[in-house]
Amino acid sequence: MEINKPPAVSELEISILGGGKSYGESLVLHLGNNEWGVIDNCNNQKTRKPLALEYLDKLNVPYEKVVFIICTHWHQDHITRITSLFKQCPNAEFYISDALNCKEFEHYICLKSNIKSNFNAAGEFKKLVEYAQTSNRKLTRVTQDQLLYKNVFEGKDIELFTLSPNEATKKYFEKSLSNFLAEPTDLSTVAVKPEPNLQSIVSLLKAGSHTFLLGADMEVVADNDLGWKGVINSKALTNSNKSIYFKVPHHGSENGYDEAIWNKLVLKDDSIVTTTSIITGKTTLPTKQMTKTICDFSYDFYITSNPVETKTIKHPSKIQKFINFQGIKITKIPFEFGQIRFRLNIRDSSAKPTTELFGASIKVDCANNS
């Protein structure tokens, strides 16, 4: 199990990279015949380089082989430093949600983009737009049911479709932003408001008869036209088989789970399920309860790092005061990210998929998650 072993030309690959903390999430796709795609960005906090590119370096894959980049939505843990990723992949088409194509969003970016922070999503989006303009490269806005990639390999169609956002989502986001901007805006925080998860680009990868569902950070809401309820109305799902691979939405959060929808789209008990953990402030995902719920759906459940083991322990105030008084310097142990690598030989119809774990990634012990 060597991380630097490249896939065969006939192997499809989905690698998910990330870890705890709010450092990011990224997917690297091998689409066959040495063509690659990247979804969202996650950075190595030591080198400041996109983990996707560091992985391609290990495989000796030139960045010119990246044919597309998708920014699913503009949360900090998905978009931070994605402009750097775009700059280094000269042949990549760049796709963003069409829900962001409104004057209200432009106004919001103007208000928030100048706040100094390494995790300012508005500032990163502004930087992305400015780079595209000065380099004559295009940011393509996408809607539900678009075909972003197609190739024919060994007589099989390899296709990537968007399952969101739909028209209802675009109208909802425009209205939400308009209401938000009508109120006094706190210009001192980089917190992303209103929440952008509903504008996520959920995608479906098809390879012959196999399908793979990539859930971004999409959530479940009451409105039948929004969130996952809007996704299942996608025409791209017509005549599609249930997915054998599922990137669970929103770090395994409860707001991304709907048992009926999951059962409709994914092979229950016979699929590989992955997600990235996240720890920010008081939030730890996935929770113990959601870990059990996902295990009940599939025993093949993998996380890029153990959210329990990586949680930062805060010192009580008295101890912290003593540490400060003594002038003690505490060096944090560098956080280790994880990678879950899924591969399937699409040339051989009898081939079984393989799943490899690197770094901090784990296979959840579902048998003991009761």
C-alpha radius of gyration, the chain, whole number: 20
DSSP 24: B
> pLDDT tens, 68-81?
999 999 888 889 89
Q: Which residue has the tokens 């930087």?
A: 127
Confidence of residue 281 (pLDDT cuts 50, 70, 90): low
- The answer to whether the Cα torsion of 66, 244, 342, 300 is positive or negative is positive
DSSP 226: S
pLDDT for residue 230 is more than 50: yes
CATH of region 11-368, choose from 3.60.15, 1.10.3470, 3.40.50, 1.10.1760: 3.60.15
- 318 or 39, which is more confident: 39
**Among 57, 50, 7, which Cα is nearest to 25's?**
50
Lowest mean pLDDT among 22-31, 160-169, 263-272: 22-31
Structure pTM? 0.92
Cβ–Cβ under 8 Å, residues 74 and 100: yes
pLDDT for residue 34 is more than 60: yes
pLDDT for residue 244 is more than 90: yes
The whole-angstrom separation of Cα 253 and Cα 269 is 20
The whole-angstrom separation of Cα 305 and Cα 301 is 12
The whole-angstrom separation of Cα 147 and Cα 291 is 33
Q: What is the mean pLDDT of residues 27-33?
A: 96
- Most confidently modeled of 116-120, 153-157, 316-320, 340-344? 340-344
Query: Three-state SS string across 292-348, please?
Result: HHHHHHCCCEEECCCCCCCCCCCCCHHHHHHHHHHCCCCCCCCCCCEEEEEEEECCC
Q: What is the mean pLDDT of residues 296-311?
A: 84
- pLDDT for the residue numbered 350: 85
- pLDDT for the residue numbered 311: 47
Give the 3-state secondary structure percentages of the chain, helix then strand then coil, rounded to 5. Answer: 30, 25, 45
Question: What is the residue type of 139?
Answer: L
- The answer to whether the Cα torsion of 304, 305, 308, 310 is positive or negative is negative
**What percentage of the chain carries pLDDT values higher than 70?**
91
Ranges of each domain in the chain: 11-368
- pLDDT for the residue numbered 232: 97
Question: What is the residue type of 238?
Answer: T
Question: What is the residue type of 313?
Answer: I
**Cα–chain-centroid distance for residue 355?**
18
CA distances from 265 to 27, 155, 269 (A): 20, 25, 13
In what order do the strands lie in the sheet containing 147-153? 147-153, 156-162, 203-207, 210-214, 245-247, 272-275, 301-303, 362-363
Residue 198 makes CB contacts below 8 A (sequence gap 6+) with 99, 165, 169, 172, 173, 218, 219, 221, 226, 227
Give me the chain's average pLDDT, please: 90
Confidence of residue 289 (pLDDT cuts 50, 70, 90): very high
**Among 268, 248, 250, 256, which Cα is nearest to 340's?**
248
Q: What is the dihedral of CA 292, 251, 95, 240, to 10 degrees?
A: 0
pLDDT for residue 363 is more than 80: yes
Cβ–Cβ under 8 Å, residues 109 and 139: no
- pLDDT for the residue numbered 226: 96
